[in-house]
Amino acid sequence: MNLVKLAFFLLPMYVFCQESGIKFFEGSWNDVCEKAKQENKIIFVDAYAVWCGPCKWMAKNVFSNDTVARFYNKNFINYKIDVDKGEGKILAARYGAAAMPTYLFLNYKGEMIHRGLGAKQVVDFIKLGEKALNPIGCFAYWQNRYIKGERHSSFMYRYLQESKEIGFDTKSIIEEYIKNVNHDSLYTYNNFFIIKEYIQSINDSMFNFVLKNREKYYKIVGKKEVDEIF
């Protein structure tokens, strides 16, 4: 009898400790921004589509995970948008959510802090959230430095890697950088990989530059890396 009573006592505690998945706020975009402001939290937005297989997989296998739920429910105001409907369609266009799923991390003003793409395992999805919470690791940190005019090669190499990771089109950034940098400064390790990222075909402006100067680049990064372009 005592064991039965103990079981009834412990059951609610067990249920309480379990998360039922990420809790997504229901309401308008203005409502979620106001809630984020009041609670001083970042907004996590799952931009999904009903036809998207990876979106369904994430909902079933990752958003429902207790570890994920505890982390996201504690640290974020969570919100879902259907990119094909109403306000979700408008928000998807505003933030360039073209590939599904897209994960947006925004402040209460709607400014982007970080972003992610595609199906992710539990560990990687938590790492994504941790990066969004890190003021010197999130994408906004790198983007703000770029906006303020930082252009040295080691920074640009890192900024482009961060941009690529979150699904930004980096070609215009690279093009602007190459256009404004002194050509003598292009003969560095980091700048070679920036150029390599830019070149997609023999018609790209830097292809002939690398072809003409390949012997110099052989000495900087090695023959294999250079010849991969050709």
Contact 142, 158 (CB under 8 A): yes
Tokens matching residue 203? 């018609």
Q: For residue 27, what are its two tokens? A: 């309401």
Tokens of 161: 């890697």
Cβ proximity of 75 and 41 under 8 Å: yes
Residue 89 CA to residue 30 CA, distance in Å, equals 15
DSSP 24: B
Helices in the chain by DSSP H: which ranges?
Answer: 2-17, 29-39, 53-61, 66-75, 86-94, 122-133, 139-147, 153-165, 171-180, 189-198, 207-212, 214-221, 223-227
Cα distance between residue 168 and residue 164, in whole Å: 5
Residue 134's contacts (CB-CB under 8 Å, 6 or more residues apart) are none
Catalytic annotation, residues = 52, 55
CA distance 83 to 30: 17
